[in-house]
Amino acid sequence: MYRLRTGEFAGMRMEEALLKSGPRLYEVANWARSQAEQKPNLQPLVREFDRLEKLLARVHVQARCEDTKCKRRARWMTFEQAHRGYLTIPYMWCDRHENPDEWGYSEKVGIGFDALKLFHIKEDKRIVWKRIIRAWGIKKGTRINERFAIDFFANLGSSTEHS
């Protein structure tokens, strides 16, 4: 368990902060990673973030493939290219399908933090993050609190141990 001590997430467990504001915590973790050698007190934060990121790679995605005839679960996202960057509306794809027209779309990225790397504006990252957590099965209107976050990550850890 790692409880954040300062900033906008002060007092929150990292699990809760990650689900509530993944893009912001991702920035904090990247900054901490770059400072960890000079500031050893940041190493526990980085270790915990890395652990949670690995757990999120195990999420059982609920979103379906965009191909109309396909019933498989999506594993990848692409974004349509706009004037500057990409639109924040993801297209979800399984391993067998992809955009019918490759020009004008991003490359396939995993449904998670990889998608955030395509965006540079905070608001765009926040919108995409909401779409990512919806794809993970967290419904709109779900109250993400400490208990919910703990249970969400606990289920990720136990679901792969039994398979």
- Residue 63 · residue 77 · CB < 8 Å: no
Residue of 93, 117, 87, 157 lying closest to 26 (CA atoms): 117
Q: Each residue's pLDDT tens digit in the chain (163 positions)?
A: 899 988 888 999 999 999 999 999 999 999 999 999 999 999 999 999 999 999 998 898 999 999 888 999 999 999 999 888 899 999 999 989 877 666 788 888 999 998 999 999 999 999 999 999 999 999 999 999 999 999 999 988 765 443 3
What is the distance in angstroms between the CA of the first residue and the CA of the last residue of the chain?
A: 25
Please tell me the pTM assigned to this model.
0.85
Residue of 3, 23, 14, 7 lying closest to 52 (CA atoms): 14
Determine the 3-state secondary structure of 81 from DSSP.
strand
